[in-house]
Copies of this chain bind each other. A is one copy, B any other.
Amino acid sequence: MMIDAPVPKPDGRQSQTAAAIQRGVLRFLAAHGQAGLPEVSLASGRRADVLALDAKGALSIIEIKSSVTDFRTDAKWPEYRPFCDRLLFAVGVDFPLELLPDDVGILVADAFGAELIRAAPEHPLAAATRKALTLRFARAAAGRLAGLYDPDLRPAQEW
């Protein structure tokens, strides 16, 4: 038996701009020793655009804003802060950065990479929250990976 190559599908909910920024952000994270996982459901029911985990266990949430409209229609971004040590926005090269709040990190990204324009303030998670988030991250990532390799894999629950 050969285990064939998985063929995942693009995420149809995402705009092309958001998809490009996501790829650039994931490249940036990888190049800086952080593992990034897109679209992670949090205990609050919201989904982080990207959750990143560094080698020491610090968790960053990167919210992707594909346009000014996308940013202005999202009043709920502060709700991500309790689920990370650092909160960043990632925007395209044309985004007017002065619109962004002062207390978040900023990444400017395109499909090929990203640049850290402003480091994020740190607000360390409580140990129990970090543990739960890391577990969620780990199980979601492995579950998706296994599902790519074996489309007939049937999880008992959502990861």
A6 touching B7 in the complex, CB below 8 Å, given contacts A27-B150, A137-B142, A154-B30: yes
> For chain A, which range describes its interface: under 10, 10 to 19, 20 to 34, or 35 or more residues?
35 or more
How many chain copies does the complex carry?
2
Is A67 an interface position by the 8 A CB rule? no
Is there an interface contact between B150 and A23, defined as CB atoms closer than 8 Å? yes
A138 touches B35 (CB 8 A): yes
Tell me which of A9-17, A98-106, A114-122 binds B: A9-17
A141 contacts across to B, CB distance below 8 A: 138, 141-142, 145
A37 to B1, Cβ gap below 8 A?
no
Chain B residues with CB under 8 Å of A149's CB are: 8, 23, 26
Distance from A64 Cβ to chain B, minimum over Cβ atoms (Å): 13
Q: How far is the CA of A142 from the CA of B35 in the complex (A)?
A: 6
Q: A55 contacts which chain B residues (CB < 8 A)?
A: 135, 139, 157
Cross-interface CB contact of A153 among B2, B6, B9, B26, cutoff 8 Å: B26
Interface residues of A in 12-60 (CB under 8 A from B): 16, 19-20, 22-23, 26-27, 30-33, 35-37, 53, 55, 57
- Shortest 3 CB-CB contacts between residues of A and residues of B: A141-B141, A138-B138, A35-B142
Offer 28 A-B interface pairs, CB within 8 angstroms, sorted by A.
Answer: A1-B19, A2-B16, A2-B19, A3-B10, A3-B19, A5-B6, A5-B9, A6-B7, A23-B150, A26-B146, A26-B150, A26-B153, A27-B150, A30-B153, A30-B156, A31-B154, A31-B155, A32-B156, A35-B146, A36-B142, A37-B146, A53-B135, A53-B142, A134-B135, A138-B138, A141-B145, A145-B145, A145-B148
